[in-house]
Structures are given as C-alpha cells and as structure tokens.
Amino acid sequence: MEPISIWIVVGVALLIAEILSVSFYSIFFGIGALVTALFIYMGFADDITTQLVIFGIASMGSLLIFRQRLLEVFNKNAKEFKEIVDDFAQVSAPIPPHGEGKVFYRGADWIAYSDAEQSIEKNSRVKIRRVDGIKLIVDPA
C-alpha cells in the first residue's frame, strides 16, 4: 500500500471516529493525516520522517488554533436549552434509582437520568434540573 493511501485511510478513519465520539480531538489528527497525504501528493514528503513531522505540525497546529473556537460554538448552542431547566415533565418510562428512563416533555420523549435513591414511576412528575447533551437530568417533583 502506498504511503499516500495509508495517510488518507488514517485521516478518514479519524474523522469517522470524531463523528462517533464528538470529543473534538480526533478531527484534528484526521486533518493532520489528510494534510500529510496532500504533501505526499505534491511531492514534498517522500520519506517517513518528513511525513511524521508534517503530520505532527498539521495536527497540533489545527488543534491549537481551532479546538477552542469549535467548543465555544457548540457551547453557545447548548446554552439555548437552559430555558427548560426548572420546568416539569412527566415520566413515560420508569426511572430506576441512579438510572435512566424516559420523560415526556413538550411533545417528545427524552432520555432522563435521576440520581435519586428511589425509583420514579411512570406518569410521575419530575423537575428538570439540567440538560446534558440529549439527556435530561431530573429530580422527583
């Protein structure tokens, strides 16, 4: 397998890993691998040492420059859901102690987590304490 093919496969694999993990790290190493493949294609990186240096610089450079900006954009969008904190929802699937269930809120079922010591039964009312991604953290009402 040619070095350019290896770098492309690694880059695409890391981009797919980022989609599955949303950690905002893999994407930058995937970019670094694709930039390395581009340099190989242009004829600037024939030996492995040069390829590794380009990979390291491109990965770390993009990480340092863009990661914080991406996090700010996504955190800004997450703040829009703060309006539902302290609102009430109805349990649609029982929530075990320190476990997950479902609640019905504004016309849709949401995954809900409670760290209460007792289970919360179906049709009970809960108070939304905070939003964690697509999960509502709730307390018994």
Query: Do 59 and 13 belong to one domain?
Result: yes
Residues 58 and 7 in one domain: yes
Kindly state whether residues 32 and 65 are assigned to the same domain.
Answer: yes
Evaluate whether 105 touches 130 at the Cβ level (below 8 Å): no
Range of the domain at 17: 3-79
- Give the domain-ending residue among 32, 57, 79: 79
| Higher local confidence (pLDDT), 129 or 76 | 129
pLDDT tens for 4-38 read 999 999 999 999 998 887 678 899 999 999 999 99
In the structure, what pLDDT confidence band is assigned to residue 96 with cuts at 50, 70 and 90?
very high
Give the domain CATH number at 91.
2.40.50.140
Structurally, the chain folds into a number of domains equal to: 2
Return the pLDDT at 133: 75
Summary mean pLDDT of the chain: 90
Which pLDDT value is given to residue 3? 95
Residue at which a domain ends, from 79, 98, 130: 79
Alpha carbon of 73 to those of 8, 66, 76, 135: distances in Å?
28, 11, 5, 20
Residues 75 and 130 in one domain: no
Helices 26-42 and 48-78, interaxial angle, to 10°? 140
Residue-wise pLDDT for 40-50, tens only, equals 999 999 999 99
Interior/surface letters 39-73, b for 16+ CB within 10 angstroms, e for the rest: bbeeeebeeeeebeebbeebbeebbeeeeeeeeee
- The domain boundary, picked from 60, 79, 98, lies at 79
70 and 92, same domain (yes or no): no
Asked if residue 8 and residue 70 are part of one domain, the reply reads yes
The C-alpha atoms of residue 68 and residue 24 are separated, in whole angstroms, by 9
Residues 33 and 96 occupy one common structural domain: no
Kindly tell me the sign of the dihedral angle through the C-alpha atoms of 3, 9, 14, 15: positive
Cα torsion for 8, 13, 17, 19, to the nearest 10°?
A: 60
Instruction: Say yes or no: 110 and 136 in one domain.
Output: yes
Same domain, 41 and 106: no
Q: Are residues 74 and 89 in the same domain?
A: no
3-state DSSP assignment of residue 54 = helix
